[in-house]
Amino acid sequence: MQSVESFVVVSLIKSVIAVFVLLTAVAYSVWLERKVVGHIQNRWGPTRVGPFGLLQPLADGIKFLFKEDITPPHVYKTLYIAAPMLSVIFALTSISVIPIGNWVTIAGVHTPLQITDVNIALLIILGVTSMGVYGVALAGWSSNSKYSLLGGLRASAQMVSYEISLGLSLIGVLIMAGSFSLRDIVDSQSGVFWGFIPRWNIFHGQTVAFFVYLMSAFAETNRVPFDLPEAETELVAGYHTEYSAMKFAMFFMAEYANMITVACLATLLFLGGWHGPIWGLTWMQAVLPVFWFLAKVFCFLFLYIWIRGTLPRFRYDQLMAFAWKFLFPLAVANLVITGLVVALRS
Amino acid sequence: MTPVATPFFFYLLSGLALLGGILVITRKNAVHSALALILTLLALAGLYLMLYAPFVAGVQIILYAGGIMVLFLFVIMLVSIEKSQREDQFNKQWIGGLVGAVALGALFVRVFVRSKALHDLTGMPMAQLPEQSNTQEIAVYLYGNYMLAFEIASLLLLVAIIGAVVMAKKRI
C-alpha cells in the first residue's frame, strides 16, 4: 500500500520519461524510415545534418517550429485548430498502459515498468485508438475543402471497418490468456516448446490472428498499402492538405506514435513481450527483458518501413472488399476455432 | 489504494454529461452537436468506471464514442451547413414534448425515491461486483440468465443489416 503523494510523484516521473522517450522514438523512426526507404530506392536518405544524418529530426523540428503557420480563410476555425491536437493527444495516451518490462525497484520504490498497471489495459488502448479517428475526420471536415473532406471520409470509413477485424483478431489472444491485463497476457507466453521454440502466441495457435492483426493495424495507422486517406496522387495530401507548420507536424507525430503503439501491442500480444533468452551478470539480467522488448518493437517498425518501400497502394473498393470479405470472416473463423480448442481442453 | 476525491469526480463527470446533452440540442451546427454527444458518451464511460464497471466503460467508448458516433459524423459531414443553418432548429410540437418530458421526469423521480427508500429501509449496501471478475459476471448474465433476450436483440440487428443491404442493392 503506497500513499497518494508517492503515487502521484512516481506516476509524474514515469509519465515525463515515457513521453520523452516516445517523442524521441517518433523523431528517430521518421529518420529510420527516410534512411531505409532511401536505401530501398537506391538513394542515401538524409546525410547532411550530423553523422549519417542523425541530427536530421532535430533540424526538421526546428524547421516546423519556425515555419509560418497559415490558417486558410475558409476553414471552421475552432475545429481546424483542435483536430491536430486531438490526434496527438489520443496517439500519446495509449502509451500510458503499455508495459515494457517486469516490476523493478529503483531507489526503494517498487514499481512496474509502465505508467499505470490496470487490468483492462487492452480495452483502454482499443478505446483510445478508436477515438483517434476523430482527429483525422474533423481535420478533413473543418478544412472545408474537397480534398480534405474526401480524405477525412475515407479515413473514417477505413478505420471503422478495419477496427472490427483488429478487435476480433485480439480476442483469440484474450481467450488464451483469460485476462485483459497486458501483463497477464505476456506472462501467459513464457516458456518454450521442445526446448527451443518460444511459447509466443504467434507460434501457439494465433498465427492467423497475428496476420489479421498485422494487416488491420497497417490500415488503422493509414500506412502503405492502406494510405488512401492521404493518397497524394488523387487527394493532394488528403485530410492534412490545408495544414502547415506545427499543426501538420502534429499529424505526422500522431501517425508515427500510433505506429509505435501498434508495434508495442503486437510485441506484447503475439511476440512474447519482454520474454527472451536471459543470461549473464545481475545487471544484464535486469536490462535484457527491456532490451528484448525494444528489439522486437524495432523489428516490427522495420517491417512497417520495409512494406512501405515495397508495395503499391490499394484501390478504394479493393480496400473495403479486403476488410469485409476477407479479413473479417478470417478473424471470425479464427475466433471460433480458438474458442472451441480452449473449451475442449479445459 | 482507496479511491480519492470520489464526489469531485462524480459531479465533474455528471456536469460534463449534462453540459454535453444541453449542447447537443442547442447547437445549430450538426457537427458541433455530434461532438457534444461524444462528450456526453465519454462522461458516461467515466461514470461507469466509477461504479467499478471497467468493461462496460471500455465498451461504451469503443462502440458508442468510437464506432457509432464516427458513422454519425460520417453522414453529417456530407450535409451542407449553409443550407441547414437557414432552417428552423426546433419544431413546434410543444404539447407532445411536454407530455413526454413530464412522464420521463416522473419516472426518474419515482425510481430515485423508490431506490433510496428501499435502500434506507433494508439498510442493504449497493451490490458491488469485484473489479477483477466484472467482465466474467457480465458474460455469465448475458449468456446464462438473459440468453433469450440477448439472442432476440442479435436477431433484430441481423434483420436491420439485411434490410439495409436489400434497400441499398437494386439487384441481389
Q: Is A260 exposed, middle or buried (0-12, 13-18, 19+ CB in 10 A)?
A: buried
**Average pLDDT estimate for A188-193:** 74
**Contact A150/B77 with Cβ under 8 angstroms?**
no
Among the partner-chain residues B74, B132, B135, the one whose CB lies closest to the CB of A153 is: B74
Is it the case that residue A226 has pLDDT exceeding 60? yes
β-strands A192-193, A109-112: how paired? unpaired
Predicted confidence at residue B129, as pLDDT, reads 52
Among the partner-chain residues B57, B65, B71, the one whose CB lies closest to the CB of A131 is: B65
Is it the case that residue A230 has pLDDT exceeding 80? no
Q: Flag if B58 and A127 touch (Cβ within 8 Å).
A: yes
B155 found inside a domain: yes
Question: What pTM does this model have?
Answer: 0.82
Which residue range is the domain that position B32 belongs to?
A: 1-85
Residues B19 and B80 in one domain: yes
Residues in B 110-169 with any Cβ partner in A closer than 8 A: 131-132, 135
Name residue, grid cell 537506391.
A42
Residues B6 and B67 in one domain: yes
For chain B, the average pLDDT equals 81
Residues B78 and B156 in one domain: no
Distances (CA, A) of B68 to A14, A68, B34: 34, 37, 11
Predicted confidence at residue B122, as pLDDT, reads 59
Counting one residue from chain A and one from chain B, the pairs whose CB atoms sit within 8 A come to 75
Chain B residues with CB-CB distance to A134 below 8 A:
38, 70, 73
B74 found inside a domain: yes
Predicted confidence at residue A223, as pLDDT, reads 78
Residues B76 and B136 in one domain: no
Which of B62, B17, B71, B14 lies closest to B39, judged by CA?
B17
ipTM, two decimals = 0.79
Q: How confident is the model over A249-297, as pLDDT tens digits?
A: 888 888 888 888 888 888 888 887 777 777 777 777 777 888 888 888 8
Chain A residues with CB-CB distance to B135 below 8 A:
180
Pick the range with the lowest mean pLDDT from A21-25, A86-90, B13-17, B135-139. B135-139
Mutation target among A119, A170, A175 for the B interface, most CBs of B within 10 A: A119
B16 found inside a domain: yes
Q: Flag if B66 and A7 touch (Cβ within 8 Å).
A: no
Among the partner-chain residues A118, A124, A133, the one whose CB lies closest to the CB of B70 is: A133
Domain boundary among B55, B70, B85: B85
Number of independent structural domains in chain B: 2
Pick the range with the lowest mean pLDDT from A57-61, A98-102, A192-196. A192-196
Domain boundary among B85, B116, B143: B85
B96 found inside a domain: no
B147 found inside a domain: yes
Q: Which residues contact A343 (CB under 8 A, 6 or more apart)?
A: none
Q: Flag if B78 and A153 touch (Cβ within 8 Å).
A: yes
Domain ranges of chain A: 67-345
List the CATH number of the domain containing B60.
1.20.120.1200
Residues B1 and B76 in one domain: yes
Q: How confident is the model over B85-135, as pLDDT tens digits?
A: 777 777 778 888 899 999 999 998 888 777 766 666 555 555 555 555 677
Distances (CA, A) of A84 to A69, A79, A229, A252: 13, 9, 15, 9
Predicted confidence at residue A1, as pLDDT, reads 47
Tell me if chain A has a CB within 8 Å of the CB of B36: no
